[in-house]
A and B are shown apart, each in its own frame.
Chain A
Amino acid sequence: SQQGEEDPQALSIQEGENATMNCSYKTSINNLQWYRQNSGRGLVHLILIRSNEREKHSGRLRVTLDTSKKSSSLLITASRAADTASYFCATDLKTSYDKVIFGPGTSLSVIP
C-alpha cells in the first residue's frame, strides 16, 4: 500500500487564487518531498522538508509538516495556468534504506 495520501484528489481554481494540497502518511519519516508532474512527463522535484522542520518556503511554494499528525501541506500562492499539473508527496522512510514512496497525487487545474 502507498505510504502517503494526498487530498483532494482533484482541485480546480482560477488563476491568481491560492491552491492548497494536503498529504498524510503512516510511518516515521526522514523527510517529505513534493513533486510535480506535467501530463505524460517525468516528475520534477519541488521542495523537501526534513522531519525536524515545520515550514519551508521556495518562491510561491510553502510547505508545512506536522509530524505529530503525520501530515503535510503544499500551498501554491498566486497560481498561474502553467501550474496545472499533478502534485505528489513522497516520503523517505526511516525504516528502509532511503526508500522513497509516493502518494496517489492531486490533480490541479488552474483556469486562466
Chain B
Amino acid sequence: DTGVSQDPRHKITKRGQNVTFRCDPISEHNRLYWYRQTLGQGPEFLTYFQNEAQLEKSRLLSDRFSAERPKGSFSTLEIQRTEQGDSAMYLCASSPNSDTGELFFGEGSRLTVL
C-alpha cells in the first residue's frame, strides 16, 4: 500500500446525473477526510470520519451529498442530481489515530458537470 487512492481520477457527467467517488485510505489510518477544491482556492472541508463514524459534516454539503465509510475502510462520496456548481476537484485524505495531525492526500477526483 503506497498511499491514498481515489477513483475515478476524472469524471464528466451531465447535469442531473448521480456520481460516486471512492477513496481507499492508507490501511492503518483511522481518520478519513473529504475536501472540495475549486480552481485557485484552498481545499474546503466537507466531512470527516473516525473509523466508520461520520463525526462532522460541513454546511457546504447539501442533502444531495452523502458520504459513507462502511467498516471503517474505504469511503464513498455520492453526489445526486449534479449541478454545474458541483464541478470541482474532490480530495480525500487519511490520517493515523495519533496527535501528529498530518494528512495524507490522494491525487483527487476531478468532476466536470456539463
Measured CB to CB, the residues of A under 8 A from B are 2, 4, 30-31, 33, 35, 41-45, 48, 88, 90, 92, 96-105, 107
Say yes or no: A48 contacts B48, CB within 8 Å. no
Q: List 16 A-B contacts (CB under 8 A).
A: A2-B42, A30-B101, A35-B103, A35-B105, A41-B107, A42-B91, A42-B105, A43-B91, A43-B105, A45-B103, A88-B43, A97-B50, A97-B55, A100-B45, A101-B45, A102-B43
Which residue on chain B has the smallest CB distance to residue A31? B101
Interface size on B, residues (CB 8 A): 27
A41 and B101 alpha carbons, distance in the complex (Å): 21
Q: How long is the Cα–Cα vector from A53 to B41 in the complex, in angstroms?
A: 28
- A102 is contacted by which of B35, B50, B55, B99 (Cβ under 8 Å)? B35
- Contacts A42-B105, A45-B104; A100 near B56 (Cβ below 8 A): no
Interface centre among B4, B42, B55, B93 (most CB of A within 10 A): B42
Q: Tell me the B residues contacting A by CB distance below 8 Å.
A: 4, 31, 33, 35, 40-45, 48, 50, 55-56, 91, 93, 95, 99-108
Pairwise interchain contact A104-B102, C-beta atoms closer than 8 A: no
B108 to chain A, nearest CB (A): 6
Q: Taking the nearest CB of chain A, how far is it from the CB of B88, in angstroms? A: 13
Q: Given A88-B42, A98-B31, A103-B42, do A43 and B101 touch, yes or no (CB 8 Å)? A: no
